[in-house]
Amino acid sequence: MSEKSENSLAPVQSSNDSAEYIHFTDRPDLILPNDVKNFLKQLFWECNRKISFQLSTFPNAHEEALDLLFISHFAHMQGAIKFNSNWTLRIDAHFIGGGRHFRTWEVADIGLMAMFRKNGRITRSKLTFLQSKKLYASSLKYKPQDPYFRAGLGRLLVTEKEHRELVKTTLLKYSEASKYKALKLKSKQEEAMRVFSSHHNITLHYLLYNPSLIPWEIKIPVEGWPTIDENKVGCRVISKPFLDANFQDKEVNYSPSYKDIKDAFNKNFSDQESGAGWTMETFICDLFIDGKEGLVADSPNFQTMLGIMSQKTSPISSALSITFDFEE
């Protein structure tokens, strides 16, 4: 396996597909210094690389497993980090688990929160949601529900037929024609997402899990770790309004391909060098934390966030909070 050290904190090179930094105010307690931004962007770059490598190696990985890999990347960082710029960073990861969904549909898999504090006191918070969808390799089928209605630990018990299928020698391929098969345009889930977004006045986004490279192929069962030196594609983020606006002419339950989204994204952002959406680290660090994306709440008691995220019937399954504290 050819991968960089998990603990490497070397600054990530500025990406050409980064959007222009858009600061929402000139207040110093809301503008992150470079040492904090570089550290955070490195963390999400590493997370992107890890998830994409996993999907490249095991294309039949479940989306839920990739979500857990995202959360687990930050779960071990249960402590504050102090920087020379006199800022403190703290990251908390939480797996909420199952429960009732919004109108019986899950509208997002991961909730992201950014908290800004000044001398310990909250000054601003931001919130956004990510609905994850993976790219399916050739011959892999989308199964909307378990054929045997297994739940909980019962999902670990597979039939002999399923076992033979899982261990059968197969060459799995990714190409630009590969589809996000669980992403169904104009479906009931899409409608639930639209209503939720309108009700809470928040834009929902898709976190698209892709392999590190496209085209890509791997034989399963895996006989050795592949060598992947670059993460040229990887995890990408697009907004739901972007998807709706660019695929209005598609039929109900159409699943877009990687090429569909890549062409639409490059058409809308022709001045940017990018693939099928913003890279995970660009969206989270530049557009959400340091930019205009996400719901902004200035309430000191997190009233808006608590109303959406703290209920047992929360429409998400995992959450990541990032707290910044500026000390004068």
pLDDT at 9 over 80: no
pLDDT at position 24 is 44
* 15 has a pLDDT exceeding 80: no
Q: What is the mean pLDDT of residues 194-198?
A: 88
Percent of the chain with pLDDT over 90: 58
Q: What is the reported pLDDT for 239? A: 96
Position 124 pLDDT exceeds 70: yes
Specify the pLDDT at position 1.
Answer: 42
Mean pLDDT (whole number) for 166-181: 95
Q: Provide long-range contacts, Cβ within 8 A and 24+ apart, for 282-285.
A: 282/15, 282/17, 282/18, 282/19, 282/237, 283/205, 283/237, 284/44, 284/112, 284/237, 285/37, 285/40, 285/41, 285/44
Res 135 pLDDT > 60: yes
Name the residue with higher pLDDT: 328 or 189: 189
* Alpha-carbon 300 to chain mean position: 27
Tokens found for residue 28: 């110093």
Q: What is the pLDDT of residue 305?
A: 66
- 11 upstream amide cis, omega within 30 of 0: no
The confidence band for 275, taking pLDDT boundaries of 50, 70 and 90, is confident
Between 198 and 36, the higher pLDDT residue:
36
Higher pLDDT, 316 or 58: 58
pLDDT at residue 228 is higher than 90: yes
Write down the pTM of the prediction. 0.86
Question: Residue 87's pLDDT is what?
Answer: 96
Residue 274: pLDDT band by 50, 70, 90 thresholds?
Answer: low
pLDDT at position 8: 34
Contact 171, 294 (CB under 8 A): no
Residues in the chain: 328
Average pLDDT along the chain:
84
Residue 99: the pLDDT is 45
Arithmetic mean of pLDDT, 204-226: 96
